[in-house]
Amino acid sequence: MTLTTRLPLLALIATVAACAEPVEPSAPIAVSDLTVKLEPVVAAEQPWGMTFLADGGLLFTEKEGGLKYLAPGAAASAPVTGLPQALTADQAGYLGLALDPDFAASRLVYVSLSSGTPEANSTLVVRGRLSDDHTALENVEELFRGDLRDTTYHYGSRLAFANDGTLFVTIGEGFKYMDLAQDPKTTHGKVIRINPDGSIPADNPFADGTAGNPAVWSYGHRNSQGLYYDTVSGTLWETEHGPKGGDELNIITKGANYGWPKITYGVNYDGTVITDQTEADGMTQPETYWVPSIASSGLTMLTSDVYPGWKGDLFTGGMNGPSGLVLVRIDLEDGKVVGKEDLLKNEYSIRDVAQGPDGYLYIASKDFDGIFKVVPEE
Ligand SMILES: [Ca+2]
């Protein structure tokens, strides 16, 4: 081999090596003594969000089927009528939901859905009173409508209440509007914060509307499908999908910029580079990230003693990708991520995870499998 043919080859090898260089792991692998398995609870078609009532009843959304109710101990769910018609194309549909903090008295249920046509749609947050017989949402009111988009991807749409009674909602950047995630004047790629009646809290970071949309709480997000408010510490935890690699767990704070698409640990799906920056001044780093992606979905914190050693840890679902199809335990110590453990590998694409009043974790599959209870193996 002559020098002239070797040089390009060496250059090629060097380039391939640089691309394949593994990203530094974002947290050590955690291993616990406990293993878990799944027990079926109820059939469901593309369940998206779920939340338990105090008596063990379960409310959940199906992406196309709307709101469903499973009575305690029942074998099948029943529809809950009253929601507006949702757009259900591609990733659009009936998505996240939350109970009013005073649900026992108010019976109010909050739902985020995609509203409009494929050419002109937005994220719509509504609330209604769950009828005493659990068959209908009554007096449904529109609370908030995100900016219009002409795409049917990346809706975000998780809901979580804070201790002060305000409601956080994640809104995705619609995939094609990624650059607008950096613009606080739009709702694309944001966490928004509203009062339960849809009005805007006076202490929102852009409340006066001059430098941003009054509803915006934080920005620079991609597609956030996990949101959990820890009522003990007052911490708002969020997961969001990165592109190819770079899924994130973030702690959300007022007015902060989480960087998308200026900084990311991922690349485009076709492997091309979005940015070579993983950090920048004025942009908040994730608490942990995933390379390769898991397609991070719903997020909750275990507050029960059902699983030895896991109390106080976060759990998020993985939906696909080379290391997806997992329930990830995120080991927290004093509010910091100290390890990650993949549970329930290669069983289901997990869209949501929630804790029931019995202290057990439950997962909802992304596809047509249903909702399952996570039980320790003997
Ligand atoms: Ca980020």
Tell me, yes or no, whether 250 lies in a domain: yes
240 C-alpha to ligand 1 centroid (Å): 8
DSSP state of 86: P
- pLDDT value for 12: 39
Residue 181 pLDDT > 70:
yes
Predicted model pTM? 0.93
Q: Does residue 3 lie within any of the structural domains?
A: no
Residue 125 lies in a domain: yes
Q: How confident is the model at residue 239 (pLDDT cuts 50, 70, 90)?
A: very high
Structural domain contains residue 174? yes
Instruction: Give the pLDDT score at 21.
Output: 45
| Beta carbons within 10 angstroms of residue 339's beta carbon | 17
What is the pLDDT, as a whole number, of residue 24? 67
| Three-state secondary-structure class, residue 310 | coil
- Those residues whose beta carbon sits under 5 angstroms from the ion ligand 1 are 258-259
Residue of 138, 192, 205 whose CA lies nearest to 162: 192
Under the banding of pLDDT at 50, 70 and 90, the label for residue 6 is: very low
What is the C-alpha separation between 195 and 213, in angstroms, rounded? 15
Burial of 179 (C-beta count, 10 Å sphere; 0-12/13-18/19+):
middle
Please determine, for residue 46, whether its predicted confidence score (pLDDT) is greater than 70. Answer: yes
Give a yes or no: residue 27 inside a domain.
no
Cross-strand partners of 329: 315, 341
User: For residue 235, how far is its CA from the centre of ligand 1 (angstroms)?
Assistant: 17
Active-site residue set: 154
- Name the 3-class secondary structure at 330: strand
Predicted pLDDT at 77:
98
CA of 11 to the centre of ligand 1 (A): 32
pLDDT of residue 117: 98
Res. 269 pLDDT band, cuts 50 70 90: confident
The predicted pLDDT at position 271 comes to 83
The alpha carbon dihedral of 192, 198, 202, 208 has a sign of: positive
Residue 23 confidence (pLDDT): 57
Q: What is the pLDDT of residue 13?
A: 38
Residue 48 CA to ligand 1 centre (angstroms): 23
Q: Compute the distance from residue 122 Cα to the ligand 1 centre, in Å.
A: 23
- Check: CB of residue 338 under 8 Å from CB of residue 331: yes
64 Cα to the center of ligand 1, angstroms: 30
Greater pLDDT, 8 or 254: 254
Domain holding 325, by residue range, is 38-376
Residue 152 counted as domain residue = yes
Residue 179 phi, psi dihedral angles, 5° rounding: -65, -25
Q: Is residue 33 part of a domain?
A: no
Question: What's the gap in Å between 229 CA and the centre of ligand 1?
Answer: 19
pLDDT on residue 267: 84
Asked if residue 343 has pLDDT above 90, the reply is yes
**Choice between 267 and 7, residue whose per-residue pLDDT is larger:** 267
Does residue 19 sit within a domain? Answer: no
Residue 247 has what pLDDT?
96
- Residues 331-341 have pLDDT tens digits of 999 999 999 99
Question: pLDDT for 303-339, tens place per residue?
Answer: 999 999 999 999 999 998 777 899 999 999 999 999 9
Total number of domains in the chain: 1
- pLDDT score of 18 more than 70: no
With a cut of 80, say whether residue 17 has pLDDT above it: no
List, in order, residues 6 or more apart from 242 with CB less than 8 Å away: 222, 248, 264, 265, 266, 289, 290, 291, 293
Looking up residue 209, the CATH number of its domain turns out to be 2.120.10.30
pLDDT of the residue at 11: 40
Tell me what the pLDDT averaged over the chain comes to: 93
